[in-house]
Amino acid sequence: MVEPKFFEGPQKGNLAAAYAAMDANVDVITAYPITPQTTVVEELSSLVGEEEFIARNQKTQFMRMESEHSVAAGLVGASYAGARVYSATAGQGLLYMTEMIHWMVGARLPVVLSIATRGLTGGGWNIWADYGDIMGLRDSGIMIQLLGTHQEIYDSILMGFNISEHPDVMLPLFPAYGGFVLSHTSKPVKRVPWEEAQKFVIPKRDEWEHVWIDSERPMMTGALIMPQSFYAEFRIKAHEAQLKAISVIKDTMAEFEKRFGRSYGNGLVEPYKADDADVLMIGYGTIAKQAEDAVDVLREQGYKAGALRVRTYRPFPTEDILKYIKKTQIVGVMDRAIAFGNPTAGPLSTDIMAACQRYDSTRNAKILPFIGGLGGRDVTYDDQIEQFKILFDLKEKGEAPKKPYKMWGTYWTGLITGSDKVPQGEEEYFGDI
Kindly tell me which of 74 and 414 has the beta carbon lying closer to another protein. Answer: 414
Q: Applying CB under 8 A, does 106 fall inside the site for another protein?
A: yes
User: In the set 61, 140, 185, 329, which binds another protein (CB under 8 A)?
Assistant: 185
User: According to CB under 8 A, which one of 84, 166, 311, 366 is a site residue for another protein?
Assistant: 166
**At closest approach, how far in Å is the CB of 72 from another protein?**
17
- Pairwise CA distance, residues 192 & 199, whole Å: 11
66 or 206, CB closer to another protein? 206
Nearer to another protein, 138 or 150 (CB): 150
If one asks whether residue 378 binds another protein (CB under 8 A), the answer comes out as yes
Distance CA 209, CA 348 (A): 34
CA quadruple 239, 240, 245, 247: dihedral, nearest 10:
140
Task: List binders of another protein among 201-220 (CB under 8 A).
Answer: 207, 209-212, 216-220
Asked if 92 and 38 touch (Cβ cutoff 8 Å), the reply is no
Which residue, 127 or 339, is less far from another protein as judged by CB?
127
Q: Which residues of 209-247 are buried (b: 16+ CB within 10 A; e: fewer)?
A: eebbeeeeeeeeeeeeeeeeeeeeeeeeebeebbebbbe
Out of 188, 275, 396, 422, the residue judged to bind another protein by CB under 8 A: 188
CA dist 369 and 353 (Å) reads: 9
Among 58, 252, 286, 312, binds another protein (CB under 8 A): 286
Closest distance to another protein from the beta carbon of 202 (Å): 11
Give the x-and-dash track for 239-278 against another protein (CB under 8 A).
Answer: --x-------------------------------------
Cβ distance to another protein smaller for residue 84 or 366 = 84
Q: How far is the CB of 224 from another protein (least distance, A)?
A: 9
Distance CA 325, CA 318 (A): 11
CB of 39 to another protein, least distance (A): 11
Residues in a beta bridge with 307: 272, 281
Count Cα atoms within 13 angstroms, Cβ side, for 258: 8
Q: Rounded distance, CA 362 to CA 357, Å?
A: 7
Which one, 187 or 326, has the nearer CB to another protein? 187
* CA distance to 57, 61, 127, 152, 318, per residue, from 48 (Å): 11, 7, 28, 22, 40
Window 5-44: residues binding another protein (CB under 8 A)? 9-10, 36
Site string for another protein, 45-84 (x = CB under 8 A): ----------------------------------------
Q: Decide if residue 184 touches another protein (CB under 8 A).
A: yes
Nearest approach in angstroms of CB 41 to another protein is: 18
Count of residues near another protein by CB under 8 A: 52
Three-state DSSP class for 314? strand
Asked if 5 and 38 count as a contact pair (C-beta separation under 8 A), the reply is no
The helix (H) or strand (E) run that includes residue 283 is strand 279-283
* 3-state DSSP assignment of residue 8: strand
Q: How far is CA 276 from CA 273, 303, 307, 324, 410, in A?
A: 7, 11, 11, 9, 26
Residues 6+ positions from 395 with CB-CB distance below 8 Å: 278, 279, 330
Binding piece for another protein, criterion CB under 8 A, among 47-55, 177-185, 263-271, 315-323: 177-185
Among 236, 243, 254, 422, binds another protein (CB under 8 A): 236
Asked if residue 237 binds another protein (CB under 8 A), the reply is yes
134, 163, 343 from 169: Cα distances, Å: 20, 7, 31
Stretch that binds another protein, among 64-72, 186-194, 337-345, 400-408 (CB under 8 A): 186-194
Cβ of residue 191: shortest distance to another protein, in angstroms? 15
Shortest distance in whole angstroms from residue 188 CB to another protein? 6
* Residues lying near another protein in the complex (CB under 8 A): 9-10, 36, 106-108, 127-128, 166-168, 170, 178, 180-182, 184-188, 207, 209-212, 216-223, 225, 230-231, 233-234, 236-238, 241, 286, 289-290, 292-293, 378-381
